[in-house]
Amino acid sequence: MKHRSTIIVGIIALLIIGALVYLYGYRKRQVSADLATVQQKSQDVATTSKVKMALELNKHVSHLPIDVSASSGVVTLAGKVPTDQDKILIGQIAKDTEGVKEVINHISVEPTPEAIAQAEKERAMDLEIKAAVLEKFWKSPELRQESAKIDVEVLNRVVKLSGSVPTPELKSRASMLVRSVSGVQEVNDAGVSVSSPVVQYPNR
């Protein structure tokens, strides 16, 4: 009987020890998880502050009310801006900030009357530039020929040329004429192909 009681006591002791070991391990894991959570939240707070600071330092968007939040390195942006360019710029600034893994851009674009007026002004300028470019092409005997087929697109004062010309010299001539137009900020002639390749003769 005494031997049996000893066995029972031993079993109970083992169960108690096992329970204590389990509770200790669980508590240790819980503490580690809590510590990791605290560290991640601290990092998210720091990331949020960095993004806000980067936006405040940019003169183009510092005046815009933007909400910034971060979770595990994923930054979410919210708010209202007057133009698509503002939304894109804010998203790029956030993306380039240290600690940011991903950007979710929920910013909505709601143009103000001033922004609408400015956009209309820019559009009118683009149309004026396009008309001036086409006029210069028409006045150029080489570019007026049917063999030179160049399309002109203008957006935000950037002129994009496409089509084909018979020689590289004519392509350069077209780009030079575009650059001479007042108001042009940039010329992109990558879309212009040369239909007659340059013939290279071997050295004699």
Is residue 134 a contact partner of residue 163, using CB atoms and an 8 Å limit?
no
Q: Quote the pTM value.
A: 0.51
In a domain, 18, yes or no: no
In a domain, 188, yes or no: yes
Domain count, the chain: 2
Tokens 């879309």, residue located: 191
- 177 and 121 both lie in a single domain: yes
In a domain, 78, yes or no: yes
Domain span at residue 139 reads 114-194
The answer to whether the beta carbons of residues 159 and 129 sit under 8 Å apart is yes
Q: Which of 109, 124, 158 is the last residue of a domain?
A: 109
**pLDDT number for residue 20:** 58
Asked if residue 124 and residue 103 are part of one domain, the reply reads: no
Domain end (from 93, 109, 125): 109
pLDDT value of residue 33: 53
- With respect to residue 140, please indicate whether it lies within any of the assigned structural domains: yes
Q: Judge whether 62 lies within some domain.
A: yes
If asked whether residues 125 and 105 sit together in one domain, one would say no
Q: Distance between CA 119 and CA 132 in Å, rounded?
A: 20
In a domain, 21, yes or no: no
Q: Could you say which of 67, 91, 109 is where a domain stops?
A: 109
Whether residues 143 and 183 share a domain: the answer is: yes
Per-residue model confidence (pLDDT) at position 149: 85
Task: Tell whether 164 and 102 lie within a shared domain.
Answer: no
Compute the distance between CA of residue 68 and CA of residue 182 in angstroms, rounded to an integer.
41
Tokens standing for 195? 């239909």
Question: Which positions ≥6 away from 175 have C-beta within 8 Å?
Answer: 161, 187, 189
Mean pLDDT by 10 residues, the chain (204 residues): 60 63 60 62 89 93 92 92 92 93 94 85 94 92 76 93 90 93 94 72 53
> Would you tell me how many other CB atoms lie within 10 Å of the CB of residue 185?
9
pLDDT of residue 94: 94
